[in-house]
Structure 1
Amino acid sequence: MIRDRFGPLSTRLLAAFLVVALSSVVVLTGGALWGTGRGLEAAETAARRQAADRVAAAVAAAYTAAGGWGGVNLAAAADLATGAGARLVVRTADGVTVSGHGRGMPMNTGTGAGRVETRVVAGGAVVGSVLLAFGSPSDPAARDVAWGWILLAAGVALVVAGLATWFVGRRIVVPLARLTRAARRISAGDRSARAGVHAPGELGELATAFDHMAEEVARAERTRRDLTGDVAHELRTPLAALQAGLEELRDGLAEPDAARLSALHDQAQRLGRIVRDLAELAEAESAALSLQWRETDLAEVARTAVRAHDAHLRAAGLEVVTELEPGVVVRADPDRLHQALGNLLSNCARHARRGARVTVRVRRAGETALVEVHDTGPGIPAEELGHVFERRWRGDSARGTAGTGIGLAVVKELVTAHGGTVTATSGGDGTLFTITLPRSPAR
């Protein structure tokens, strides 16, 4: 279970989240340090400028009190400079140095980033200048504080990345692990295995599609198994009758008269019909690989199919009516469509009541072509309509009717191979089978 929850995908997710978190921290750190440095530099420059202005004002006051540079008392100005952490240099307007004050300050009086110079104005005239030479910048302490917050933010980002990985891992990796286990069980033969995952978004859709696929696989296997049993049952009865009849003839217990031979012939025909139905189904399932495509007039196909089955339909006591719109052309294999339509007509002959009417209609419907076979027979119960195109399915009303229940499944396979659909509807006026095919663009 731990390996399922925190397998390679979880590890990769954790690595991805950590890389994103660390990258974000690095980018934010660079931006924070740059912004902090610029902010501290601007603040320190403004503070130094204000200190220089205050010192210049104190020097101007001393100059005015002394009436000139001779005997000027610069003690107050020196105290202000020392308080600001700078060395004070006072010059006259001619550039002569009057005095330099400040403890531990450098003696170089040139210009630079750590020096601020401003004019001394007394009586409305510039009488000299002051130069404040500051020491080392005061920002290392501020940078240390910034680094502390940055490290704290990095720690929080890593913790959030770990929690996000755990959360996403549970939402993604655990459902994927369940899907994997279910797929392995199905491949091992357990057709009852289901993922049973309820997840949001595409992962939930994948899980739902997987379970639906598993249901279809299980249903198809049940259908094949039931088909095998039903075919064996259908074959067993005529084979048993043939065997018993032949044994009677062999042992001289019955005369080989016309009635006896005719009964044996009927059983042989029943066997042949079952084999033909199975062969048609197998052929229809591979029809997409063997279609002979060409422009086909549906009215002509329907007319030919009705003509071929007319005797069978009339023998069943059915009235046949055709409503064939000319010029309804599709790209198809006419032989396969003839086969599909013939199966629908045979189904009518087998299940419709005597005296019923069978209407075969061909018409346009927008960009599609419709072939409709409608009989006024007893209809199909609503609960059985969804199963009529399943292999070997036969409704309750058809239990006593000869056949294997494969004919309509063949129709569905053939129509699907043409890119079309076939539907069945039933009501008080009988049953309507509708084949829908795409019309040729030129028609």
Structure 2
Amino acid sequence: MTPEPPGLSGVPGPPGERDAPGGRRRADGAAPSSPAPAAASPSVPPPRERGLSPLGWRLFAAFVLVALSSVAVLTAAALVGTGRGLSETRQADRQQAAERAAGAAAAAYARADGWSGADLGPARAVAEAAGARLVVRDEDGQVVAGSSGTGQGRPGAGPAGTGTPGTGTPGAGTPGQGAPGQGPPGQGPPGAGTTGTPGATGTPGATGTPGATGTPGAGGGGTGAGTGAGAGAPRASASVAVEGRTVGSATLVFAAESASAARRIAWGWIAAAAATALVVALAASWFVTRRLTGPVVRVARTARAIAAGERTARSRVDAPGELGELSRAFDAMADDVARAESSRRNLAADVAHELRTPLAALQAGLEELRDGLVEPDPRRLAGLHDQSLRLGRIVGDLAELSAAEAAALSLHPADTDLAGLVRAVLADREAELRSAGLRVRTDLGTRPVTVRADAGRLHQAFGNLLSNAARYCRPGDTVEVTVGTGGGRAVVEVSDTGPGIAAEDLPHVFDRFWRGKSGNGVSGSGIGLAVVRELVAAHGGTVRVASPPSGGTVFTVSLPLPGGRGG
């Protein structure tokens, strides 16, 4: 029994017994080349953390700061606005009361035809109903009348009241009427009688005491007839007009303002609303912080798990907007990484298999010659030579694929006429197509289609498409190549009337080493179309394949036009 070639023991058998990448059974064999990697089972996402991450705490602190600032500013604005609104409302009420008092004073002035004798009682009643003192001045600014106030302001500076001096009536004394003395007649010589003493003069009446001078009017805090008012007391004035002529003014002096019940109620509601808004803001900040940081934390945890070797870990975050897109993009990247790793493993197995067949044949043939079991005739040497050529083709194809995958790093783009390039490729492949018995038709247009590309790389891609048609089409089939533009892109189609590709094989056409059911007995390593895909992608283009049930295959290459031109 022929021993295994060094380093290839355990590698599956010849080409009739290997799978396509991904575990699909190859068209011409049965046994898989290597165990297909287990499908990535959906991982169960880790449980959510109850607390916040450091980023979460920083975001939460920022949200809380913004919430506190907003509530503080809005509360201050509400307090100031409410205070000013209440003050303006009260001042408007005061002004209306002053105008009513001025109207009553004007009516009294008109009835008395002047301020003397004017009955200002109605005006005082209006002032008292408004809780104020009334001060009426004439047109010269002299105080005509003032009413008692009950304010607690500081003593006013009103002028002193003027009392009327009392006038005493002088007493009128009654003169005394002394009776003349009546002495008895004298017995002697006649003499004169003694005159009686006159009556005492009456005492004059006492002079009346003058009236006391009037007491000066008290200010806003006292009770008196003065007109002074506290300096900080609010007041409202209105002109007293009679028949269109201003004859004075009426001023209502109110008690000094204190915190009103309305203001206390308004401020209480504002404080309650501010506290409620703050609580809601804190709750919303906590919720939003968790919603923002949760997906990021889970993606980071999943990334660490993948880096640790758990290739099936996925974040699977169901979040709206950009965070959900981040999670889905990360999971898609993880899937691509898993597929790339699986593809790498399959590639290693496929390369080992492709190399094993010619190496095993060479080894067996050489051992037979060495052991003298066969003669080194030309036919046997030619067979060994063919195996070495096959080995060289495989190595060359692998080198070509590697170069194609790295093409984006080594492109030398320049303005290239796509129609002219396709014409040159057809000229180079003419002998190959003719030997395969194929007819060629072209529609390259009348105008040049210019793209920014590496002409050598595109020449290689289009050449592979034509070689693929030459290998798989039957003699007498037709290959048609068209060049055009559409949607701002240059489009090249390579179609044929060959047997076509089965629907289940279409997704694998561009896989490495894949040749499908129709590849049995067809030369080639299954790398050519993979090279086409890599080269077109390196130019920012796409390549698609379609095969209708009626037969035939269409490869469509789309390349971007400079500046998005195209009809």
Counterpart in 1 of 2:304? Answer: 184
Change in 2 beyond 3 A, CA 1:138/1:344: same
CA distance in 2, matches of 1:433, 1:303: 17
Q: Which has the higher strand share?
A: 1
**Mean alpha-carbon deviation: is it higher for 147-156 or for 271-280?**
147-156
CA distance in 1, matches of 2:102, 2:57: 66
Partner amino acid, structure 2, of 1:411: V
CA distance in 2, matches of 1:342, 1:122: 113
- Using the TM superposition, give the Cα deviation of residue 44 of structure 1 relative to its aligned residue in structure 2, in angstroms: 2.0
CA distance in 2, matches of 1:387, 1:313: 25
Partner amino acid, structure 2, of 1:318: G
- The answer to whether the 8 A contact 1:4-1:173 is kept is no
**Mean alpha-carbon deviation: is it higher for 116-125 or for 300-309?**
116-125
- Out of 381, 387, 393, which is 1:261 matched to? 381
Partner amino acid, structure 1, of 2:539: H
- Out of 54, 73, 87, which is 1:41 matched to? 87
- Using the TM superposition, give the Cα deviation of residue 375 of structure 1 relative to its aligned residue in structure 2, in angstroms: 2.7
Where relative contact order (Cα < 8 A, 6+ residues apart) is larger, the structure is 2
Q: Percent identity?
A: 56
Q: Which runs of 5+ in 1 are unaligned?
A: none
CA distance in 1, matches of 2:382, 2:130: 130
**Is residue 250 of structure 1 aligned with residue 299 of structure 2?**
no
Change in 2 beyond 3 A, CA 1:69/1:97: closer
Change in 2 beyond 3 A, CA 1:240/1:34: same
RMSD: 3.6
Counterpart in 2 of 1:433? Answer: 555
Q: What's the CA shift string for 1:281-318, capped at 9, x where partnerless? A: 11111222323334444455444434444444444x43
Change in 2 beyond 3 A, CA 1:65/1:383: same
**Is residue 408 of structure 1 aligned with residue 529 of structure 2?**
yes
- The answer to whether the 8 A contact 1:360-1:371 is kept is no
Change in 2 beyond 3 A, CA 1:284/1:32: same
- Out of 463, 466, 476, which is 1:345 matched to? 466
- Using the TM superposition, give the Cα deviation of residue 340 of structure 1 relative to its aligned residue in structure 2, in angstroms: 1.4
- The answer to whether the 8 A contact 1:328-1:439 is kept is no
Q: What's the CA shift string for 1:115-139, capped at 9, x where partnerless? A: 3344667999977654432221244
CA distance in 2, matches of 1:302, 1:44: 92
Counterpart in 1 of 2:183? Answer: none
Partner amino acid, structure 2, of 1:285: E
- Out of 439, 442, 445, which is 1:323 matched to? 442
- Out of 113, 132, 144, which is 1:86 matched to? 132
CA distance in 1, matches of 2:485, 2:463: 22
Change in 2 beyond 3 A, CA 1:226/1:81: same
Q: Which has the higher helix share?
A: 1
**Is residue 275 of structure 1 aligned with residue 321 of structure 2?**
no
CA distance in 1, matches of 2:440, 2:326: 49
Change in 2 beyond 3 A, CA 1:356/1:200: farther
CA distance in 2, matches of 1:62, 1:22: 60
**Equivalent position SS for 2:342:** helix
**Mean alpha-carbon deviation: is it higher for 257-266 or for 87-96?**
87-96
Partner amino acid, structure 2, of 1:336: R
**Mean alpha-carbon deviation: is it higher for 366-375 or for 250-259?**
366-375
- Using the TM superposition, give the Cα deviation of residue 154 of structure 1 relative to its aligned residue in structure 2, in angstroms: 1.5
Q: What's the CA shift string for 1:174-232, capped at 9, x where partnerless? A: 22222222222223332222221222223223322222222222112111110110110
**Equivalent position SS for 2:540:** coil
Partner amino acid, structure 1, of 2:512: R
- Using the TM superposition, give the Cα deviation of residue 431 of structure 1 relative to its aligned residue in structure 2, in angstroms: 1.3
Partner amino acid, structure 2, of 1:275: V
**Mean alpha-carbon deviation: is it higher for 93-102 or for 401-410?**
93-102
CA distance in 1, matches of 2:536, 2:427: 21
CA distance in 2, matches of 1:37, 1:210: 56
- The answer to whether the 8 A contact 2:233-2:255 is kept is no
Counterpart in 1 of 2:156? Answer: 107
**Is residue 27 of structure 1 aligned with residue 146 of structure 2?**
no
- The answer to whether the 8 A contact 1:348-1:375 is kept is yes
Q: What's the CA shift string for 1:322-375, capped at 9, x where partnerless? A: 42536534343332222212222322233233x242424243234544433333
Counterpart in 2 of 1:420? Answer: 541
Partner amino acid, structure 1, of 2:87: E
- The TM-score, its normalising length taken from structure 2, stands at 0.68
**Is residue 150 of structure 1 aligned with residue 270 of structure 2?**
yes
Partner amino acid, structure 2, of 1:35: G
Report which of the two structures shows the higher radius of gyration computed on alpha carbons: 2
- Using the TM superposition, give the Cα deviation of residue 388 of structure 1 relative to its aligned residue in structure 2, in angstroms: 0.9
Counterpart in 2 of 1:216? Answer: 336
**Equivalent position SS for 1:101:** coil
- The answer to whether the 8 A contact 2:233-2:256 is kept is no
- The answer to whether the 8 A contact 2:482-2:494 is kept is no
Counterpart in 2 of 1:363? Answer: 483
- Out of 384, 398, 416, which is 2:519 matched to? 398
CA distance in 2, matches of 1:266, 1:249: 16
Counterpart in 1 of 2:200? Answer: none
**Mean alpha-carbon deviation: is it higher for 132-141 or for 90-99?**
90-99
Q: What's the CA shift string for 1:418-442, capped at 9, x where partnerless? A: 3332221112231122223345789
CA distance in 2, matches of 1:119, 1:338: 103
